[in-house]
Amino acid sequence: MSQDSDHPDDQGPAALGRVLVASNRGPVSFSQDEGGSLSARRGGGGLVSGLSAMAGSADLLWICAALSDDDRAAAQQAPDGRLDAAGHDTPAAVQMLDIAPDVYDQAYNGVANSTLWFIHHLLYDTPNQPRFGSEFARQWESYRSYNRAFAAALARGAEDRDGARVMVQDYHLALAPGMLAGLRPGIRIAHFSHTPWAPPDYYRMLPDDVGRELLEGMLGADHAGFHAQRWADAFLDCCADILGAEVDRAARQVSYRGHRCDVGVHALGVDAADLRQRAAQPDVERHVAALTEAANGCRLIVRIDRTELSKNIVRGLAAYRELLSAHPELHGRVVHLAFAYRSRQDLPQYREYTESVQRIARQIRDEFGTPGWDPLTLEVRDDYARSLAAYRLADVAVVNPIRDGMNLVAKEVPILSERGCALVLSREAGACAELGRHALVVNPYDVAATAHAMYEGLMMPQPERARRCAALAQAGGALPPQQWLADQLAALG
Ligand code: G6P
């Protein structure tokens, strides 16, 4: 829990001092209209809402990468590369780093998303992948220089600011803490992993020097945070087994080359009041009306994911097919809303996965659909208001990732559900640690068990569903982003 003295509400402006945040994707993105002028679009997510709550009490700077040519143009136009918060509707001043496109591509697509994401989510088809050859060596060089660019910008951002605290986000930036500590000895650094962490036997697939360098980079931080105990423990195991670092498991501390890194578990939750307010807006109401009409009285099984391989959408749809095969009495009485929004489409594996999702969805509709009943609605175009409408209407929510750092959908749906939804939840999601007691917990590889859990969710008596849903909502809102962030800052001292 946070120390009272570090809670933003308790203090006056700038009481928290200089806080620097670093992440690959920032809180704003730019696009050029036909007339050539750039317009900003604010992003969402826990970090944005957490920092918004802190904006009055800290001197904030958020350093991120320019992700597109339009972002680069905006960064080049900004005085000393910094966009002010008020002018761009962001919770912090933003500095977008204009990293050379090929370096960025190799670091983001080559190392972060095709390698580290696969390692931490256990996604490799190991008879064939990974293969670390000379192409990977080039990508790794780019990953280093991408991290160096962040470390240098953070060092500049902390200049002349005694007591500056730095919060580095995720696997894109595993080397930055060590690099920054080298540039600015004594600066307080936290790193947070939003993903799981791989167990040593799997992590060891990385080339030995790369595996070590990543851990050493992370250990440059004073605090390494994870969403769940399992991921924190796996990190400690890697530090002990691979680096031979001194690990105190009870205290969750790693000592390495004279520096100590504390490891913390901070299970990000949802700002329930804020989410409910957003879900009551007219655009969501319109979608509620449209989805209700389309459902035509059927019960709704809902899943909403980005189309990432780790989300296990194909097995989830296969489970729905098994449900329909095993229970003909449900035909015409249930509809599956599967919203699978496109993600990372520069990578061939992601494009192929999206196609697999579309293929099995077609098969289900062809096999079971009738003129009066469409058993499945698959949407691949992101629409936040429609997602919230589906949350409100869900009878059963399915969250069945192969592995997931947290999974906020599992927390959001029960908060918004108006029908007291049942939650089918993978035991491999970080969220399972908090929600498992009230969910229908499944092994994500077990399609038959997932189908059975969907059935149980549909058949659960209403009072039990309502009771479980209320408990899920309570747990999901337990650590809202502002508190989550304040706790990490407090842990930095
Ligand atoms: C997911 C993960 C985060 C990660 C993000 C990056 O949300 O949970 O750990 O930072 O993906 O997504 P992007 O679209 O920027 O590659």
Query: Nearest C-alpha to atom 10 of ligand 1 is from which residue?
Result: 170
Cα(389) to centroid of ligand 1, in Å? 23
Cα(306) to centroid of ligand 1, in Å? 10
The stretches of 106-183 forming alpha helices (DSSP H) are 117-120, 134-157, 176-183
Output 493 or 242, whichever has higher pLDDT: 242
- CA dist 190 and 183 (Å) reads 16
Helices 348-368 and 313-326: angle between axes, nearest 10 degrees: 10
Cα(488) to centroid of ligand 1, in Å? 20
Query: Nearest C-alpha to atom 9 of ligand 1 is from which residue?
Result: 194
Q: Both tokens of residue 141?
A: 């060089």
Cα(273) to centroid of ligand 1, in Å? 24
Residues in the chain, total: 493
Cα(25) to centroid of ligand 1, in Å? 8
Output 197 or 76, whichever has higher pLDDT: 197
Residue 66 pLDDT? 95
DSSP 253: E
Is the peptide bond prior to 130 cis by the omega test (within 30 degrees of 0)?
yes
297 Cβ neighbours under 8 A, 6+ residues apart: none
Residue 88 pLDDT? 76
Query: Side chain identity at 179, as an amino acid letter?
Result: M
100 Cβ neighbours under 8 A, 6+ residues apart: none
Q: Is the pLDDT of residue 5 over 70?
A: no
Mutate to test the pocket of ligand 1, among 170, 342, 344 (most ligand atoms within 8 A of CB): 170
DSSP 335: E
Q: Is the pLDDT of residue 447 over 60?
A: yes
First-to-last C-alpha distance (Å) of the chain: 13
**Ligand 1 atom closest to the CA of 23, numbered from 1:** 10
Query: What rounded mean pLDDT belongs to the chain?
Result: 94
**Ligand 1 atom closest to the CA of 108, numbered from 1:** 16
- CA dist 306 and 381 (Å) reads 10
Q: Which residues line ligand 1 (CB under 6 A)?
A: 24-25, 170, 194-195, 343-344, 405
Residue 75 pLDDT? 87
Position 13 confidence tier, pLDDT thresholds 50, 70, 90:
very low
What DSSP string describes 260-304?
A: EEEEEE------HHHHHHHTTSHHHHHHHHHHHHHHTT-EEEEEE
- 336-372 pLDDT, tens digit per residue, is 999 999 999 999 999 999 999 999 999 999 999 999 9
Query: Nearest C-alpha to atom 16 of ligand 1 is from which residue?
Result: 344
Nearest to 200 by CA among 215, 179, 182: 215
DSSP 431: T
- 420-446 pLDDT, tens digit per residue, is 999 999 999 999 999 999 999 999 999
**Quick one: CA dihedral 90, 306, 445, 323, positive or negative?**
positive
pTM: predicted TM-score of the whole model, two decimal places: 0.95
Q: Is the pLDDT of residue 8 over 60?
A: no
Residue 220 pLDDT? 98
Q: Is the pLDDT of residue 138 over 70?
A: yes
Cα(95) to centroid of ligand 1, in Å? 19
Cα(428) to centroid of ligand 1, in Å? 17
**Ligand 1 atom closest to the CA of 113, numbered from 1:** 16
Nearest 5°: the CA angle 132, 143, 141 is 65
Cα(165) to centroid of ligand 1, in Å? 23
Residue 14 pLDDT? 60
